[in-house]
Amino acid sequence: MEKIKTVSEKPIAVRMHEKDNVLVIASDSGAKTGTILYDGTELVDDVPYGHKVTTTDIAEGAPIIRYGETIGFASEFLPCGSWVNESRTTLPDAISLTEGFPEHKIRKVDSEPLEGYTFEGYRNADGSVGTRNILGISMSVHCVSGIADFVVKRIKNELLPKYPNVDDVVALNHHYGCGVAINAPMATVPIKTLQNIAKNPNFGGEVMVLSLGCEKLRPERLIPEKQSGQPEDIILTMQDPAYEGFQAMVDEMLERAERHLAKLNQRKRETVPVSELVVGMQCGGSDALSGITANPALGFASDLLVRAGATVMFSEVSEVRDGAALLASRAETPEVANALIEQLTWYDEYLKAGGVDRSANTTPGNKQGGLNNIVEKALGSIVKSGSMPIADVVAPGDRVVKRGLNFAATPASDFICGTLQLAAGMNLHIFTTGRGTPYGLAMAPVIKVATNSGLARRWFDLIDLDAGTIVSEGESIESVGWKLFHLMIDVASGKEKVAAEKLGLTNDLVLFNPAPVT
Amino acid sequence: MEKIKTVSEKPIAVRMHEKDNVLVIASDSGAKTGTILYDGTELVDDVPYGHKVTTTDIAEGAPIIRYGETIGFASEFLPCGSWVNESRTTLPDAISLTEGFPEHKIRKVDSEPLEGYTFEGYRNADGSVGTRNILGISMSVHCVSGIADFVVKRIKNELLPKYPNVDDVVALNHHYGCGVAINAPMATVPIKTLQNIAKNPNFGGEVMVLSLGCEKLRPERLIPEKQSGQPEDIILTMQDPAYEGFQAMVDEMLERAERHLAKLNQRKRETVPVSELVVGMQCGGSDALSGITANPALGFASDLLVRAGATVMFSEVSEVRDGAALLASRAETPEVANALIEQLTWYDEYLKAGGVDRSANTTPGNKQGGLNNIVEKALGSIVKSGSMPIADVVAPGDRVVKRGLNFAATPASDFICGTLQLAAGMNLHIFTTGRGTPYGLAMAPVIKVATNSGLARRWFDLIDLDAGTIVSEGESIESVGWKLFHLMIDVASGKEKVAAEKLGLTNDLVLFNPAPVT
């Protein structure tokens, strides 16, 4: 990506690549007809903030180029200085995943090891490292979630204050476990997800499992193999005839929770290399600046993490679909490229079975924000993966196994992506947003990065980092990338709390269940 | 259904129909080899509680008959007195929904009007009647649910005490709204569900809607047409540039909530006929006694309600699938029968697309409880619909429009069924359970009925009515049915609180979304 050009006084328009025939308007109030941009383009339309303007005449049917790539075709003649809105562009056909796909080539990138960076984390028996010390209360079925909520409230009030080294108690509420086709081919996805969430490093191997008793998802399946203690110490079954009423269940849960809290309380933070970070990246409420500011800065930070030996995941299948060729060429081996194509192909079929295609991804907010279609959105989204080779592809529900940059093949839904990244082992979450979201998770800290300074200013208590300074103050991508890298270390170490943690804002776990309910 | 026969001293075995060639063991500890039942059958196996025993020799391949219907075939020769377990039976083929389906016939049933029964309810402007007075806070997307939870907590602490006529404030949390294929053919189901939940009579037309701003599901779509106030008074959009940070959003929400609370506080209970009840029925954690005790008693109460002019829904497509012919013959008109078949056919295809069929319904708990397969489970489940004609079929997400007995075509998943019944307009929920569940809803009271006295005794603080007395004490179905009918009136009137309300146990809204996520 070419370095951003700005006009001398005020950076009101930015170009991402020398081949581009559009600029993006970056001044808060947009730009009026007659405005002359730094490259001499004179606007013939009013162009809103984040939207594109042609910098040359574009013939009907000719390509519109951004990020050096074709993001669509002009559906009418667009004279230089025109507003490129959705109605003036047509979507390119989806890249075929089976025919004429470019041959896999390993790219050479600067991946000089980055050494000497550490954070303060909780080292677990299985070698993983937590960034928080949380008692997780999992459940085999949604039936017991009311009881879980009840007990969590009591634990927080009565027990947690006695165990100062434990950060939180969290019910791993979900809607699965019964009333579902548990043996359907795709039921493996939600089940693996729940199994692997229980292994998340932030729970220190001390997850408790609440069970009803008659549910389809047997509670034994949710216990991590390496967890200490026997199943009878971990699973509480409400229908166990031993419990005479609700109060007896609650008493037993509190008693067992206290044993787990006592063990968790012995965990102490210790200095560990940055390579122990497992960072999940995603974006939501994207706008046209996502691909110019926050995502490139995150891409730079992602490269730093990979060079330091950490594990980094990018995701969101329907947002990378149109950059498939680009990504496949970055796969470390042909096997990884094939795994990538396999995941994208499965998703194509999944969408088709539901009567839709990849174009179902973009939101009204994306479009208002200047992203005309999924191709443009995809190119801006992929930028956050930086420039490193893709070491592995993680199927939905699976745990990440290789260090370096991973493609975790999740839906783009913020909640489902976050949930699957938690299952993959994420101990730190980075979320870039242009339109703004209060998104948070109880299980891992979420650093929210604004793509524009207007949002960062307005949502001063919800946003953790302003990457909009890349446009508003001409700050370099590298500088913001380093800021983010250091913020990650501070948050992972517990020295900084993220906005969502301070306010106690959390979203639910949302499982990806491509199988039927019954 | 034939009246239950019991042995003189101890009711250890029950038969449901004179044609049956099995009895169900109803003594808590099961029955041992050598036990002689009231009809002279001598047990040749130990038979667990709730399981079936043959009362005649059954040849390999011959039908096993319960409720007067074939629930399966003997997979081996079963001498008289044998335990009929899952491995000894084979599942009958599914009834075809297209060929050889019996012609529709209107049944004559005793439906003498039942007059003079009333309850104390909240009459709404649209004519509906609430059984509770709740401020509902809906949302167009899951992104804002953390904020909704935050605000609900503050409203409960700071505002609710000032409005004594308002029972509760509830966030209508859900996982829909973005990251979904909003224009997929089946996306209409979750969208209609959310639209109709906002119209539930227990919210008194005062639902507030939280919106993020950039989501796919536009918040305007969630406002009931008849709701008082302009959209700008109802919808709060977090991304509205007017809000300078989280605290400003919270302040505005509290202010608006107070206006709605003031209006709701003016609602007063008044005496209304029982015909204003909209009762949703379902069962979960079923056992072999479900079809002998709780469901027949509920069926009797359902008949009383219908005779009194009320609206009653039974549901759970995959649990009635095997009783399709039975149900179609009860449809009030051929159009209703066709609508029923249409819903069952759609569900067959939905399951098939996911690689499963109706047999995916039964749970390990069902099987341990003596229900060998979905046919047996279905016959026991349908009993709760009583004997009245089926006045209408409600598609998933739709609102009920006809009084009388309705088939609301929902999945059998407890949470999804309850959510769809709320959307249909349910103001009172009856839930029968044999294995036990702490199930509750914040939006409408849930009366939990135990199928067996053992559960009712053990879960004394979680169960609202013991229908197990039909077996344990030889109480008549009619007697328990009337008890339940009176309990419904007391709960609907707010004179009695159900167990889940007292303990504050609630389950989530769980939307049925047969469309893809993106």
Q: How confident is the model at residue B4 (pLDDT cuts 50, 70, 90)?
A: very low
Given an 8 Å threshold on Cβ–Cβ distance, is B183 in contact with A360? yes
Interface test with B, best of A351, A439, A517 (most B CBs within 10 A): A517
Is residue B355 less than 8 Å (CB to CB) from chain A? yes
Average pLDDT on B302-314 reads 97
pLDDT digits (tens, 9 = 90+) for B451-471: 999 999 999 999 999 999 998
Element holding A492 (H helix, E strand): helix A477-492
Q: Cβ contact (<8 Å) for B179 and A518? A: no
> What pLDDT digit, counting tens, does each position of A21-38 carry?
999 998 888 999 999 998
**Phi and psi torsions of B41, nearest 5°:** -60, 130
Q: Look up the ipTM and state it.
A: 0.91
Tallying the residues shown for chain B, one arrives at 518
Find the distance separating the first CA and the last CA of chain A, reported in whole Å: 49
Type of residue at A300:
F
- Give chain B's mean pLDDT: 92
Packed helices A145-154 and A246-265: angle between N→C axes, nearest 10 degrees:
60
- Round to whole Å and give the CA distance between B516 and A430: 25
Note the pLDDT of residue A96: 81
Q: With beta carbons under 8 A apart, name residues in chain B contacting A215.
A: 363-365
**What CA–CA distance (Å, rounded) separates A383 from B62?**
66
Sequence-distant (6+) residues with CB within 8 A of B335 are none
pLDDT tens digits for B369-407? Answer: 888 888 888 888 999 999 999 999 999 999 999 999 999
Query: B406, B392 in Cβ contact below 8 A?
Result: yes
Q: Contact at 8 Å (CB) between B44 and B33?
A: yes
Nearest to A146 among B149, B284, B440 (CB): B440
Write down the pLDDT at residue A375: 87
The whole-angstrom separation of Cα A20 and Cα A39 is 13
User: What pairs with residue A66 in β-bridges?
Assistant: A69
Inter-chain contact A517–B517, Cβ cutoff 8 Å?
A: no
The β-bridge partners of B208 are B137
A183: closest CA of chain B, how far (Å)? 7
- Whether the CB of A365 is below 8 Å from some CB of chain B: the reply is yes
pLDDT higher than threshold 70 for residue B408: yes
- Give percent of chain B above pLDDT 70: 94
Nearest CA to CA, how far is B513 from chain A (Å)? 9
In this predicted model, which residue has the larger pLDDT, B408 or B363? B408
B179 and chain A in contact, CB less than 8 A: yes
Nearest to B433 by CA among B244, B287, B314, B273: B287
To the nearest 10 degrees (0 to 180), the angle between helices A294-307 and A477-492 is 60
Question: Is B376's Cβ below 8 Å from some Cβ in A?
Answer: no
The 3-state DSSP composition of chain A as helix, strand, coil percent (nearest 5) reads 35, 20, 45
Helix/strand/coil (H/E/C) assignment for every residue in B378-409: HHHHHHHHCCCCEEEEECCCCCCCCCEEEEEC
| Helix ranges, A45-91 (H) | none
For residue B439, the chain A residues in CB contact (below 8 A) are 143, 146
Query: What local confidence, expressed as pLDDT, does residue B6 receive?
Result: 40
* Residues of chain B positioned with their CB less than 8 A from the CB of A451: none
Q: How confident is the model at residue B11 (pLDDT cuts 50, 70, 90)?
A: low
Is B478's pLDDT higher than 50?
yes
CB A114 within 8 A of CB A95: no
Across the beta sheet with B208-211, what order do the strands follow? B168-171, B134-139, B208-211, B235-237
Q: Is B426 helix (H, G, I), strand (E, B) or coil?
A: coil
Nearest CA in chain B to A175: B510
A440 with A507: CB under 8 angstroms? yes
User: CB–CB of A413/A508 below 8 Å?
Assistant: no
**Judged by CB atoms within 8 Å, which residues 214-233 of B form the interface with A?**
214-216, 218
pTM for the model: 0.93
Q: What angle do CA A514, B182, A75 make, to 5 degrees?
A: 120
Q: Closest-CA residue in chain B for A287?
A: B214
Judged by average pLDDT, the poorest of A436-440, B7-11, B434-438 is B7-11
Q: How confident is the model at residue B213 (pLDDT cuts 50, 70, 90)?
A: very high
The continuous run of DSSP H or E covering B449 comes out as strand B446-450
CA distance B18 to chain A (A): 31
pLDDT value at residue B89 = 92
Q: Which of B142, B355, B356 sits opposite A415 (nearest CB)?
A: B142
What does the radius of gyration of chain A's CA atoms come to, in whole angstroms? 24
Does any CB of chain B come closer than 8 Å to the CB of residue A389? no
Q: Which residues contact B375 (CB under 8 A, 6 or more apart)?
A: B69, B70, B71, B72, B91, B92, B322
Distance between CA atoms of B314 and B461, rounded to whole angstroms? 26
pLDDT of the residue at B91: 87
A212/B368: higher pLDDT:
A212
Rounded to whole angstroms, the Cα distance separating A188 from A175 reads: 15
Residues in chain A: 518
Mean predicted confidence (pLDDT) in B255-259: 95
Contacts of residue B438, defined as CB under 8 A and 6 or more positions apart, other chains included, come to: A143, A144, A146, A147, A238, A246, B462, B500, B503, B505
Distance in Å, alpha carbon of A269 to nearest chain B alpha carbon: 29
Q: Model confidence over B72-97: pLDDT tens digits?
A: 999 999 999 999 998 999 988 887 88
Distance (Å) from the alpha carbon of B291 to chain A's nearest alpha carbon: 17
DSSP letter for each residue of B150-196: HHHHHIIIIIGGG-TT--EEEE---S-SSSB-TTSGGGHHHHHHHHH
Per-residue pLDDT in tens (0 to 9) along chain A, 518 residues: 344 443 334 557 888 888 999 999 988 889 999 999 988 999 999 999 889 999 999 999 999 999 888 899 999 999 999 999 989 999 888 878 876 555 555 555 667 999 999 999 999 999 999 999 999 999 999 999 999 999 999 999 999 999 999 999 999 999 999 999 999 999 999 999 999 999 999 999 999 999 999 999 999 999 877 665 666 678 999 999 999 999 999 999 999 999 999 999 999 999 999 999 999 999 999 888 899 999 999 999 999 999 999 999 999 999 899 888 889 989 999 999 999 999 999 999 999 999 998 888 888 888 888 888 888 888 889 999 999 999 999 999 999 999 999 999 999 999 999 999 999 999 999 999 999 999 999 999 999 999 999 999 999 999 999 999 998 888 999 999 999 999 999 999 999 999 999 999 999 999 999 999 99
* Interior/surface letters A416-455, b for 16+ CB within 10 angstroms, e for the rest: bbbbbbbbbbbbbbbbbbbbbbbbbbbbbbbbbbbbbbbb
- Burial call A255-284: b when 16+ CB within 10 Å, e when fewer: ebbbebbebbbebebeebbbbbbbbbbbbb
> What distance in Å separates residue A368's CA from the closest CA in chain B?
8
List C-alpha distances in Å: A159 to A162, A205, A237, A460, A501.
6, 19, 22, 34, 20
Q: Shortest CA distance to A321 belongs to which of A295, A348, A339, A302?
A: A348
